[in-house]
């Protein structure tokens, strides 16, 4: 059966491409999503994408993912650093979550060093630009027993 993966992006990631390109790169979110879709098509995975600037929308999506998806790839953006509500939503579901960041959050401002979601996700990939998402998708593929 085709594996289903939900790719969730938080606030300001809709601005990728023009947002602080020296930190986040020049690819738009649509371009990153297209790269992920290419990988998924070759690997027999089905992707759904959601970007929201609103904490509640992300929480609703996480809750609704339970039982529907095999994995979630999540860039919670700034919510990473303080949203106990997103952390609790992740802890409440049984879908494994991979946390991704374009930038290396540990090499930036002190307030970005802490991820309140890190303790409740499977693991974190941080600092590889758009490749952070592709690395996460590759891990999903391997964890789901993929075989290209």
Structure tokens at 14: 């809709």
Residue with structure tokens 């049984």? 94
Quick check: is 54 catalytic? no
Tell me the C-alpha distance between 44 and 111, whole Å: 38
Quick check: is 81 catalytic? no
Q: Which stretch binds ligand DQA (CB under 6 A): 25-33, 42-50, 62-70, 98-106?
A: 98-106
Q: Which of 3, 45, 101, 133 binds ligand DQA (CB under 6 A)?
A: 101
Tell me the C-alpha distance between 57 and 113, whole Å: 25
Q: Mark residues 49-88: x for contact with ligand DQA by CB under 6 A, - for none.
A: --------------------------x-xx-x--------
Tell me the C-alpha distance between 20 and 140, whole Å: 29
Which of 24, 69, 133, 141 is catalytic? The answer is 24
Q: What is residue 84's three-state secondary structure?
A: helix
Tell me the C-alpha distance between 101 and 131, whole Å: 10
Q: Mark residues 2-21: x for contact with ligand DQA by CB under 6 A, - for none.
A: ----------x---------
Q: What amino acid positions are annotated as catalytic residues?
A: 24, 101
Residues of this chain that bind ligand DQA (CB under 6 A): 12, 75, 77-78, 80, 101-103, 105, 112
């Amino acid at each position: 059966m085709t594996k289903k993966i939900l790719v969730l992006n938080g606030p300001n990631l809709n601005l990728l491409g023009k947002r602080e390109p020296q930190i986040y790169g020049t690819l738009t979110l649509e371009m990153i999503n297209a790269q992920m879709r290419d990988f998924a098509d070759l690997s027999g995975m089905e992707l759904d994408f959601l970007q929201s600037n609103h904490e509640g929308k992300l929480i609703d999506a996480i809750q609704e993912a339970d039982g529907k998806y095999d994995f979630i790839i999540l860039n919670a953006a700034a919510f990473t650093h303080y949203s106990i509500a997103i952390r609790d939503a992740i802890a409440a579901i049984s879908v494994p979550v991979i946390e991704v960041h374009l930038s290396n959050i540990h090499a930036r401002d002190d307030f970005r060093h802490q991820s309140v979601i890190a303790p409740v996700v499977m693991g974190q990939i941080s600092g590889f630009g758009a490749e952070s998402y592709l690395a996460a998708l590759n891990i999903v593929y391997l964890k789901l027993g993929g075989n290209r």
